[in-house]
Every structure is written in structure tokens, then in C-alpha cells.
Amino acid sequence: MNKRVVITGVGAITPIGIGKNDFWGSLASGRSGIRKITRFDVSSYPSQTAGEVDNFDPTDYMDPKTAKRMDRFSQFAVACARMAVDDAKLDINEKNCRDIGIVVSSAMGGVPLAEDQHSLFLEKGLKRVSPYLAISLFAGSASSQISISLGIKGFSNTIGGACSAGTDAMGHAFHNIRHGLSKVILAGGAEAPLAPLTFGAFCVINALSTHNEEPEKSSRPFDRDRNGFVMGEGGAVLILEELTHALDRGAHIYAEILGYGTTYDSFHMAQPAPDGIEAAKAVRSALEDAKIRPQDVDYINAHGSGTPLNDRTETKIAKDVFGEFAYDIPMSANKSMTGHALGAAGAIETAASILTLEHQFLPPTINLENPDPECDLDYVPQQGRDAEIRIVLSNSYGFGGKNSALILKRLNSDRLP
């Protein structure tokens, strides 16, 4: 018999707030975290805006010596994990540390640190390269650092599937607990890709927004004038837990995970398949896994990256899966405020989805000023609103044609064992 899986804790670091309360407050009020990049000189770049995380001090979550050994994305991951554990009031000790797992996603890992060290290597030679580079570069260093920091000795996995990786981390953890292999898993993602070459690589393929004049308006999902996504950084970690385990310890439950689906387009490395068939299958698979009907979905947390093809295809997918109901289901894009944190985006948006259920409030899609005729659904434009929400679908799409979908439900007392 399948186990039921719930979410009992959340930690988030985003361009619009650190910690769940600041994150949600900004999200609900429609505050943009996008600005002109300050991390390096972008004067020669066609795209000059990003979602930078302000006021993050890793020593608030670890000692300075430990922080020095990590790339920024691992610092995000550890900080988010500590916040999530505290939020869940989860006691990790010698008796249970082997029964707790970790699944963390990252598309870029420590590549920005490698950029910095490569420049130093070319200028001053091998002896000046940081001894911490080798242990900070690989994407799996984030999950390893969480394990070391919190004393977790269960399994520790890394998901690197591009921009859907955060959602895939949730799905992997969900199935693991559902099938009785674990009782508690820290699942999430972290990304810190804002470095000259990494950022420039996305400029070269014309993937990024060039609306530089008003940075806070440069991320424009579903808007007629959108011309690319805005890169962001940050992370989120959630505590996934088997239901009876959570109830036995009196944990606060944000939501239940009902289903997960994933497919590949096998079409193009940087473009979604225009017919959206495989992406629609991912959503249908998640609905079937959850044992619910399309019309049971009350809200869609959109991938909503702000690229012309992606937003148009996501709209097509919604119409394909939900038919006439598509026009009745509100859908909004957090990336209009946070930017796109690549491999961490799905984790951040899962956090946003459970807070949407918690507060019964739909966050808006900001900067949707000139609707695209081909994007004609309810994207909650400009201003959020109260709503009765029981079930949320969260979508993620990634380079290479990766499609993933997660179904979350507000847990009602009548469904408790």
C-alpha cells in the first residue's frame, strides 16, 4: 500500500526575500526582485538584468571557516535546509539520522566559482588556485554539505536535469517516501549562476530578456513584449515526510503531494516541442498518479519563463490537458518577480505553491501589461487575489526537452487516517 507524503517545513532564499515569510510577503504583493546586475560589469552585454539575492550572509547559518569551503549555491542549500528543519521542528539525532534522506537539485553547480578560479589560474598559476575548488565545483557538493552540516547519514542524491530539476527532486523524494523507502527527506534545489561567462553563455543564444531600461519589468511572462527570461539565483528546501510520521510528532502540515509526472520532448536542446504533446503527457501523468480529474485543479503555478516559445507552448499545453476548463483555472508565474533560478526554480515554485495553499491567495504575474493574443488564459495579471484553492499543479520545463509536473493538495482533516 502506498504511503501518503506531506510537506512539513520550508526554507527559501530568493531575490524577493530570505525565509518563508519575507518570500511570501513579496510574492503576494507582487514585488519584483529584478534589477541591473551588480555582481560584475554588464555594460557590454545585451542582457543586463537578473534576480540577485540581497543581504544573504552565510555566517548566519554556519561558521565563517565552513562558509569559505563552499560555493554560493551550496551556502544557499545549507541555509535553506537549516531553515526548513527549524520550520518543521524536526529533531535530527543519532537515533534517526540514518533514516533521513536528501535530494537536492542544481543545473550549474559551482561553475561560477570555477570561472573566478580559472582567471586566477591564468594570471598567477596553479599555486594560487583555491584548495576548496575541487570539493565545491560539483553539483553534488550541496547535498553533501547539508548532510555534514546537519549530521544526516541517510542517502544523499543530486538531480541535475536543467530547469526542471527542482521539481524532479520533489518527485524523486515523493516516490521514495510513498514506496516506504524513507520516512523523511530534505528535498530542494539551489543555484548561483550569476557570473560573467555563465551569464554570457545564455546571452549568446539570445535566451535572456533585453528589457534593460526598467529592470523590474524585464521579466514579462505571457506578455506580448516578452523577449527572454531573466536569470535569477537562490534556493529552497522542503521537508517531505510520511503522513503518520508527521502526525505522530505533531508537525504542522502545509500540503500533501498527490502526484508527479515527467517526460522528454526529444526535440531540441533549447526549444520546447511546438506541439507540446510530451509536456501535456507529463501533466496527465501527474494527474493520473494523483488519481484526480483535470477539472479538480484549482490553480497552476506556471513555469512561465518569459520566452516567446515557452509561454506560448505552456498555454497550449493547458488547453490540451484541461480543455474548456483551462479558461477557469488561474495560472501565474513567480518568475515575473524572482527571475529564473534554473535548477532551483522548481523547488522555489513548490515552496510558493504550498504557501499559496496555506494562505488561500493567488500570487500575481506582474508586468503582464500587453496580453499576447496567443496567451489568453487567466494569468492573475498584476495583482494577486483571494481564492479557494484545494489542488495546485506546478509545472517545470528544462533544456533538452525535460517536462515535469507536481500535484499538491491542501490537507483536509477528513483525509487524515
Question: What positions carry a catalytic annotation?
Answer: 163, 303, 340
Judge whether 27 and 301 are in contact, CB under 8 Å.
no
Contact assessment for residue 12 and residue 234, using Cβ atoms and an 8 Å cutoff? yes
CA 139 to chain centre: 16
> Could you tell me the maximum CA-CA distance found in the chain, to the nearest angstrom?
66
11 strand-pairing partners: 237
Return the CA Rg of the chain. Answer: 20
d(CA 301, CA 134): 37
Tally of CA atoms within 13 A in the half-sphere of 415 that contains its CB: 14
- Provide the 3-class DSSP secondary structure of residue 339: coil
CA 274 to centroid of chain Cα atoms:
24
Q: Which residue has the cell 499538491?
A: 408
Calpha distance 246→6 (Å, rounded): 8
33, 16 contact by CB (below 8 A): yes
Are the C-beta atoms of residues 348 and 335 closer than 8 Å to each other?
no
